[in-house]
Amino acid sequence: MRQPLVMGNWKMNGRRSMVEGLLKAIMADIGDLFGVEVVVCPPYPYLGLVMDRLAANSTVVCGAQDVSAYTDGAYTGDVSAEMARDVGCRFAIIGHSERRTLFRETDAIVAQKFARSLAADLTPVLCVGETAAERDAGRTQEVVLRQLSAVFKECGSNAFDRAVVAYEPVWAIGTGRAASPAEAQTVHRFIRDVVARQSAEAAGRLRILYGGSVKAQNARDLFEQDDIDGGLIGGASLAGADFVGICRAACIG
């Protein structure tokens, strides 16, 4: 049995007051949530504040939105996986499509970041997914396989023993047009099958999240699919009630 996981990716949003308000709203509502692991990923400058406000409540933990491909050293502006772990992060989002596209992260760089996260005892959450053009060309599985293979190449056949994968079709991110549950399930199943070729046990344990226009209204139908183990939430994670609604949809109790 895989424990459902819901992660809020706040992206580059927030100010102190907004962070305080959002956490207050989440905390007020989330108390009785059963069986779901909940993670929030604020921008780096607010990690301390979030950590501080979460301290009394162990239901929610923190993740980083990205980590450096390097270990500590002369890399101005970067934040290492070791640092993220040191300040209390437990997860790290790796290879988000916005990083791949806007910041030109290649599969090889993403794989290095994945390796750094594992080495720092952070759980990497590898984002994979195709663009609209790739989807229309029938290349979804080819793209996802390429993205997974780069990580296997860097980290070896047990790469996903302690990791999470997030399937985020690029065309569904921030568009209000989520993949249908059946559509997402097909790709999730494919991801699990790819991992199973290396290790059936790791594949059985692997949590595969869906991301892309998840709302409280469509979350349950997505999460009910056999191979969808939770969600990576963007826009809807910035409103307390919406985010908690999505967490509730993942409840197994």
From the list 51-59, 75-83, 150-158, 230-238, the region that binds ligand 13P by CB under 6 A is 230-238
**C-beta of residue 167 within 8 angstroms of C-beta of residue 211:** yes
Q: Is 42 in the site for ligand 13P (CB under 6 A)?
A: no
Q: Cα(50)–Cα(109) distance, rounded to whole angstroms?
A: 28
Q: Which is nearer to ligand 13P, 9 or 185 (CB)?
A: 9
| Residue 126 or 233 having the CB closest to ligand 13P | 233
Please report whether residue 232 would count as binding ligand 13P according to CB under 6 A. yes
Could you say which of 37, 96, 98, 130 is catalytic? 96
The answer to whether the CB of 124 falls within 8 A of the CB of 164 is yes
Please confirm, yes or no, whether 188 is among the known catalytic residues.
no
- Other beta carbons within 10 angstroms of residue 11's beta carbon come to 18
The residue from 233, 247, 249, 250 that contacts ligand 13P (CB under 6 A) is: 233
- Contact yes or no for 159/114 (Cβ under 8 A): yes
CA-based nearest residue to 191, from 136, 127, 148, 133: 148
Q: Is 211 in the site for ligand 13P (CB under 6 A)?
A: yes
Site for ligand 13P in 94-133 (CB under 6 A): 96
Run of H or E residues at 25: helix 16-30
Helix %, strand %, coil % of the chain (to 5): 45, 15, 40
Q: Is 201 assigned a catalytic role?
A: no
Backbone phi, psi, residue 93, to 5°? -75, 130
Residue numbers 171-190 binding ligand 13P by CB under 6 A: 173-174
Applying CB under 6 A, what is the total number of residues that bind ligand 13P?
14
| Residue from 80, 213, 218, 225 binding ligand 13P (CB under 6 A) | 213
Task: By CB under 6 A, name the one of 212, 228, 240, 244 that touches ligand 13P.
Answer: 212
Q: Which is nearer to ligand 13P, 105 or 168 (CB)?
A: 168
Catalytic residue, candidates 98, 130, 168, 188: 168
The answer to whether residues 205 and 2 touch, using CB atoms and an 8 Å cutoff, is yes
Applying CB under 6 A, among 168, 227, 229, 242 the residue interacting with ligand 13P is 168
CA distance 97 to 99: 5
Q: Dihedral sign, CA of 1, 199, 247, 53?
A: positive
169 binds ligand 13P (CB under 6 A): no
Residue 227 to residues 104, 133, 149, 251, Cα–Cα distance (Å):
30, 25, 20, 15
- Residue span 6-25 as binding mask against ligand 13P, x where in contact by CB under 6 A, dash where not: ---x----------------
Residues that bind ligand 13P in the complex, under the rule CB under 6 A: 9, 96, 168, 173-174, 211-214, 232-236
Could you give the residue numbers annotated as active site?
A: 96, 168
